[in-house]
Amino acid sequence: MLKKIKNFIKKKGTTPIVCLTAYSKNISKILDNYCDAILVGDSLANVLYGMTNTHKISLEMMINHACSVKQGVKKSLLIVDMPKGTYTNNKNAKKNANKIINITKCDAVKIESNNKNFSIIEYLVKSGLPVMGHIGYTPQYKKTFTVAGKSYEEEKKLIKEAKKIEKAGAFSIVLECVSKQVSKKITQSINIPTIGIGSSVECDGQILVTDDILGLSNFNPKFVKKYINLSKLIEKSVQKYKKEVKNKLFPKKINSY
């Protein structure tokens, strides 16, 4: 676990870090060949369960998906999001982080910052539980979407927040929807990797939701690039299947026992 994290940190400033999300073994097995890190994100609340936000995804749901993802991971650093409400104080944060790591065998957990939980991160790290931070737009704490770092005051606050997370012992920080200028300053001012989502090429690495880049979701923000439209390909396949079933062209002899 620690060796993987040390190697991950060493990539800062040397080679761009590739990260994506996964919620199942089928996807993680593919991603493992290309990603430096795979995140079991609480975005599964929106992507798989159709929830309006990430606030009600449970610890058990995260653990179940992480166990599936772990089966496909051999090389990548595996990180699991801690759901909202599972790290409100040192005691329950440690209990829940331990539970996630012990059951799923992941390498680390990720915690969103509310500009207050630095002590929780420090407590977890000192307890031997690796933590990735998350600043900027933090869906667990912010009700409406805004780009972070547009004003000078926000810039100072974000840089200070990142430095505090680093000091607390986090091995990396996700910068979500942080302005390009501020992302660059944060990346240059800390010694741990920054992973951007909607935060420009100035970060040490990038992460996106896999379903978004494959065209499986209807989420179309500016920062998402769709590399293929799997929804259309799936639709065509299902249409063909329906036609063959209706016309008794499937199953053929080769498909039957």
Q: Which is the catalytic residue, given 176, 202, 235, 244?
A: 176
Could you read off the pLDDT of 169-182 as tens digits, one per residue? Answer: 999 999 999 999 99
Do residues 80 and 107 make contact, with C-beta atoms less than 8 angstroms apart? Answer: no
The three-class DSSP label of residue 253 is helix
Annotation says 176 is catalytic = yes
> Where do the domains of the chain lie, and which CATH numbers do they carry?
2-226 (3.20.20.60), 229-257 (no CATH)
Query: Model-level pTM greater than 0.75?
Result: yes
The H or E element containing residue 239 is helix 230-246
Could you read off the pLDDT of 216-236 as tens digits, one per residue? Answer: 998 999 999 999 999 999 999
H helix and E strand count, the chain:
10, 8
Do residues 135 and 173 make contact, with C-beta atoms less than 8 angstroms apart? Answer: yes
Task: Name the band, by pLDDT with cuts 50, 70 and 90, for residue 1.
Answer: low
User: Average pLDDT, whole number, for the chain?
Assistant: 97
Could you read off the pLDDT of 36-54 as tens digits, one per residue? Answer: 999 999 999 999 999 999 9
Neighbouring C-beta atoms of residue 99, cutoff 10 Å: 14
Closest CA to 127 of 94, 171, 93: 94
The structure tokens 């910068």 sit at 175
Over range 9-20, report the average pLDDT: 97
Could you read off the pLDDT of 188-212 as tens digits, one per residue? Answer: 999 999 999 999 999 999 999 999 9
